[in-house]
Amino acid sequence: MANLTLAIDDDMLARLRVYAAERRTTVNALFRKHAGELLDGDERRRAAREWMVAKGKENMAHDEARAAARGAGEAVQEETWRWSRSDTYSAPRFER
């Protein structure tokens, strides 16, 4: 494991030590945990953005195909599915 030197205000360090002690951990462990959470959150957001872009492209292609079929005089079955809050926030891609 590598070492890292940080410049931090004396008062903030004292408060961090108290905070860590109250939780029976160390300042180092707090920083490692927080850094890990930051990186995990970025990865989850990236994956969610990629999924949303792919889903949007898929929906656009589907809409274009339906429009082309309508233009050719074919009967097109209209779908009633729309984005919902549940679709956005409760999908497996957001679960840990």
- Phi then psi dihedrals of residue 84, to 5 deg: -135, 165
Pick the more confident residue, 24 or 52: 24
pLDDT tens readout for residues 11-41: 999 999 999 999 999 999 999 999 988 888 8
pLDDT exceeds cutoff 90 at 63: no
Query: What single-letter DSSP state applies at residue 57?
Result: H
Integer Cα distance of 26 and 38 in angstroms: 18
pTM score:
0.48
**What are the residue ranges spanned by the domains of the chain?**
10-74+85-94
